[in-house]
Structures are given as C-alpha cells and as structure tokens.
Structure 1
Amino acid sequence: MNKRLFLKSAALGIGALPLASILPVMAEAKKTILPNSLKKGDLVGLISPSAATSERIQFDFAKESLEALGLKVRLGENLKNRRGHLAGTDEDRANDFNAMFADPDVQAVICIRGGSGAARILDKIDYKAIQKNPKPILGYSDITALHCAIYSQTGLITFHGPNGTGSWNSFNVRQFEKMFFDQELMQFENEQVKGDDLIVKKNRIQVLRPGKAKGRILGGNLTVLTSVSGTPYNPDFKDAILFIEDISEDPYKIDRMMSTLKLNGTLGKIKGFIFGQCTDCTPGGGYGSLTLDDILDDYILPLNIPAYKGAMIGHVDKQFVIPHGAEVEMNAESGTFKMTQQVFNT
C-alpha cells in the first residue's frame, strides 16, 4: 500500500537536520525483553494504529483469517473509526494499542493494516505497560514506526510480517505457525519456483558483498524508518543487521533516504545489510535516474560488510515473519539468515 505524503515530508525534514542535532537523541540499546508465547486458542487483539480501512468487508477478512489460524479475536474498540485517512484520532488509536497491552486476556496484538499514522501515536504509548505485559505484536509497512519505538524504549522483540488484512497464503501461514506456534529457530530463505521458464527468475537474490555476520536484526520500511531517525524512538543500530524495504518510491527518493541513514551514522554502525523488495521503484521520466543497483552500490559497498538484495521482505504476497530485535546470523552469499536465539518466554 502506498505511504502518505506527510511521512515523506517528515523524512525530508529529518534529512535536512544537521548531524549534531540528530546524533544526541538516538536511543541507547536496552536489554532485550522476550514476549510471552502464543498458542492456538489464545485471544489476540486486532487494532489499527495507522490508516483507516476503506471497505467494511476487510474487517471480516482479517478476523476470519486469524480465526482460521486457530486464534480467538477481540476487535479494538476504535478499530472501525475514521478521521480523514486515519483510523480515528491519535487518542483513539493509542487507546486501543494501550488497552490491548494492558489486558491480561489478550496474548498478542495484530495490526490490521499499515498506510500511515503510526508515528503520530509514539509519544502516547504506555511503554511501562509493555514492559510489564510483554506480548507479540505483528505488522509491517507503517507498523515499522511501532517496531522501532517499542524496541528503542523497552527492548521488546516484535514481529515484522503480514498485517491482518494481508495475504494469508500457505507460505505466510507456515511462517506464522513456525514462528509462533512451533517456536522454531527459523532459517529465512527465499522460496523459488521455476515456472515455465528456462531458469528461476522470481525471488532471486543478488549478492552485494559476500560474507557472514551476526547481530540483532532491526529495520523495516525505509521511508518510515527514516522518518523516526533523529528521534528518541530510533533504535540503536550498533552491530545490528539492518533490513529495509519500500514501495512506490522513485530511486532518487531512495537515494535521499539512504543518504540520511549514512549522515546520521546508522549505516556506519551496522554489521550486515539485507534489502528486501522495493515494489514499483523503477526510475521515472525526465533527465534520467540512478538505478536501485547504483544506489546500493554507492552506500553499501563502501561499508565492506556482508550484504544482499532480494529477500522476501516487504509489500509482496509472500513474506517472512521477522523477529525484530532478535539475534540472527546472515550469510550474504547464500542469501539467507537464521535465528540464533529463542524469542519467547515459555
């Protein structure tokens, strides 16, 4: 789904700030907190911390999908609200978020969709309640703002993966079940189907620089990540594995955002880099453009760290469920990464 203009404007504004005004407010690393485990039959809360859902049937789709996974579902009190493009006022959306974390009956929180708006509630979240009641939260795209804020403020591992109204195909269902129900130490490797072509083309990875690296995996949507850069809600990326993805961004905008991550010190801290999918990010008309390959070469190759492109992360039908903030080991040459720690309290 396309992101809203104000997020892009926020990213541009942050990029214009002097380096000295950004670095002092970056969050320090906190001790990792594991969420409580999830099992079939548990109650999960469905909330909308970002944009409003445009069609009423989407609420049914999300609820029925989670029930088909074997879960019970409680709808947020303000889930179906609307204020402009947002799912209600900032207070409405923050109240639903805080209520689900405070409720001892709710074992996990699922975001129904992304869009834009999650960053508006970061200063209204009860982070102490999250620390006292650690539970999984799942979502992607604009939900990157919540992943970053929760990790920076509490150290809680969260989960970057399908939203409630996303695609629940067999691949995504297996990802969910392996992560939450089976609690596997998962290895993330692209699914490749040859199809009716001489060679495999879909879901191919490209090695930017071979090698292996270990670290906490952090990141998400590039535009949203850049928009919280320079705020107290930005995680400390020291020795981290950075993963990013995006949608509907011209390459020159990707270049601008990568420049921000370089200038604010993020890229200089990381030990490994994984680029997912940049859906609909082809160069537009005009005087020409750098390609995405050019941009990654310019910003990533000089870091001399393991890096690859093309992971099944982002605005694609089949996507990994990534434990944001967990320890992983990546192998850029094979285009894989694997969990090296259990991520749930049992």
Structure 2
Amino acid sequence: MAIKPLALQQGDTVGIVTLGSPLAAETIDARIAYLRSLGLKVIVGRYVYAANGFLAGTDQQRAEDLMAMFANENVRLILPSRGGVGVEGVLPYLDYDFIRKNPKIVSGYSDITILLNVLAQLSGIVTLHSLLLLDFKPETAPYNFNQFFTATSSVTVPRPIVNPPGKRLIGKVPGNVSGILVGGNLTSFVGSLGTPYEIDTKGKILMLEEVHEPVNTVYRYVEQLKLAGKFADCRGIIMGECTGCEEAYGQTYEDLIDDFIVPLGKPLITNLASGHGTLKAAIPIGAFVNMNGGTGTITLLESAVRY
C-alpha cells in the first residue's frame, strides 16, 4: 500500500531545493516571494543557489539538501527549483528507508521525473508530477494552480484527472485497466535504463511526455523503452505532450504515436496536459488509477495525500 504524505494546508512550510541544474538567484527569490504571498512559509536549502557549471553543487550537496528537508518535521512540501540535468546523480546518496518513515509531498517534472519514480519505487511514497518552484509566478495559468492545490490538499476519490477546457483527452486504443501510475519525462527514463533506478512498469500504467526533441529522436527513445520491455510490462499507456518537438522527415509526434504506440495494442490515451506544456495536470506517481482507452478518461482511485 502506498505511503501518503500529509496534505498541504494554509501556513504550511515549503522546503526549496535545487537538485539538477542551477537557477538564477533573482528567479529563485521572485518565486519564493510569490509562494509567501500565497500564505506559505518557505525554508531554503543550503545549496539552492549553488552553481557548479551545469549542476547546482555536487551530487552529495544536492542530496544533502533533499535529505535535510525530509528530516525537517516542519516541512510539508519539498519543491525543487527546476529540473535540467543531474537529478540522477543524487539518487545513490539518499536514505530511502528514512524517506519512507518521513514522507513529504514532492512535486516536479522534467529531470525531477527520475526522483519522483524512484521515491515511489524504493520508498513507497506517492509523489506528484506537477509544478516546480519555477512555475510559481502570477502569470501561471489558474488551471495549473487549481490542479496543484487540489492534488496536494484533497483526499476526495474517485476523482478524474481533467485536461483544461478545449483540450480533451483522446482515447486511442480501447481497454479499461487499473494500476499504479508511473512515468514522466521520456529522456530521463531512457537515461536510467540499466541502472538500479530504472523505471519499473510491470503491471503499471505508464505516462510519458517529452520536450524539445525532434520526432526522430523521440522515436529512438520510444524504441529503446520498447526493447527494454517497458511497454510489454505495462497495463496501459498515457501519452502526454511533446512540447516544442519538431517534425522530422514530415512525421509529427502524433504520427509517431499512431505508427509505433498504437500497434502495441495496450489501452492508450493521448493529449494529456503534462510536464513541459504551458498547462500542467497534476499527476500522482505511485497512486492507483483507472484509465479507459475507450472513453478517454483517467480516474484517481486513491489520493496523493492524507489528513
């Protein structure tokens, strides 16, 4: 049974960490100010502002910040500043048993994807494929905040994962299945294959999204997951957006889905607002969900948090 962190409430404390690439100090400060304007308290990790080339401090330093947030009894939500690259480097330095005993809400996307799934797999906690610190600004779409705060505060189930108005979920291959939801950024999963932290899709519902890759590269990553058995193992597939992904040789992302994902024969839903897109659904990783490829619906059967 999944371990759920306590729900987020007004006045709770958010712990800020930088786990991958660095983020400009002025951006961090502006986003923290906005969080505080929402009535949340904020504490900042020791290495949040660090910059070591394309990484924010060493692997050990970034892991130390994350573990400090799990150890702080006042922290209810751990919010990475951004993704980028390098999150995989912190994984060997985490104490997964301690995290299991001290669950917190952890939210993010992009390279944070690998952390979300590893925490679900090795610590058994539900995490959230949703907003980063980077997204907390006045111009962020209300849909995103509604999704985020509903997921982090509500225990009501069953509850549908809904796309924003005018952007419907598309059922591509019929089939009604239930299972633990895993997934996120395609590149991150491919990078973890062959490591102790590769994604476990056996009996799961797999969600994928990508950003800024030409379609022929996306094909390469999809094929690698296929050869690694990740599609054969899963019960169903949800394809999120491929944000800013350019056509290749006249083929689009939608063509790739039709040509290479549909023939797998697994229940399939596409067009989920996810990850790098402007509009972001809040997707619990490690929670039990139902997907119906015939009706194009995704339903949460358990909440991401508890009271």
The two structures share one fold, judged by TM-score above 0.5 = yes
Whether the 8 Å CA contact 1:252–1:289 is kept in 2: the answer is no
Given candidates 25, 32, 39, the residue that maps to 2:2 is: 32
Q: Secondary structure at the match of 2:134?
A: coil
1:146 counterpart (106, 115, 124): 115
Structure 1 residue runs without a partner (length 5+): 1-30, 194-202
Find 2:202's aligned residue among 235, 238, 249: 238
Write out per-residue CA displacement over residues 180-230 of structure 1, whole angstroms, 9 at most, x where no aligned residue.
22333331122224xxxxxxxxx2444321232211110000000111122
The 5 Å alignment of 1:1-346 reads 31-54=1-24, 56-166=25-135, 168-185=140-157, 186-193=159-166, 203-284=167-248, 288=249, 290-346=251-307
**CA-to-aligned-CA distance 1:136-171 (integer Å, 9 cap, x gap):** 101111101101221221111111101111153311
Q: Identify if the C-alpha distance between structure 1 residues 116 and 63 changes in structure 2 by more than 3 Å, giving closer, same or farther.
A: same
Distance in 1, matches of 2:13 and 2:97, equals: 22
In 1, Cα distance between the equivalents of 2:26 and 2:141? Answer: 18
Count of residues in Structure 1 that have an aligned counterpart in Structure 2 = 303
Distance 2:229 2:7 in 1: 35
CA distance 1:68–1:210, change in 2 (3 Å): farther
The letter of the residue matching 2:114 is A
Cα distance 1:343–1:204, how it changes in 2: closer, same or farther (>3 A)?
closer
Give the Cα separation in 1 of the matches to 2:295 and 2:26. 41
Question: Please, which moves more after superposition, 329-338 or 44-53?
Answer: 329-338
Q: CA RMSD in A?
A: 1.7
Residue aligned with 1:146, SS: helix
Q: Distance in 2 between the 1:220 and 1:65 partners?
A: 26
Counterpart for residue 3 of structure 1: none
1: CA distance between counterparts of 2:7 and 2:163? 26
Q: TM-score, normalised by structure 2?
A: 0.93
Whichever residue aligns with residue 16 of structure 2, its letter is: L
How far off is 1:344 after superposition? 2.4
Deviations 1:44-96 (A, max 9, x none): 10111011003x22112221232233311101111001000111121221110
Q: Is the 8 A contact 2:152 2:304 kept in 1?
A: no
Contact 1:51 1:87 in 2 (8 A): yes
Q: Are the equivalent residues in 2 in contact too, given 1:61–1:165 (CA < 8 A)?
A: no
Task: Give 1:125 shift.
Answer: 1.2
Unaligned runs of 5+ in 2: none
Larger-Rg structure: 1
1:289 deviates by 5.2
Whether contact under 8 Å (1:189, 1:335) holds in the other structure is no
For 2:84 and 2:250, the matched residues in 1 are separated by 27
| Alpha carbons 1:35, 1:344 under 8 Å: kept | yes
1:212-269 CA-partner distances (Å, limit 9, x unpaired): 2211110000000111122211232112111111111111111111111111111001
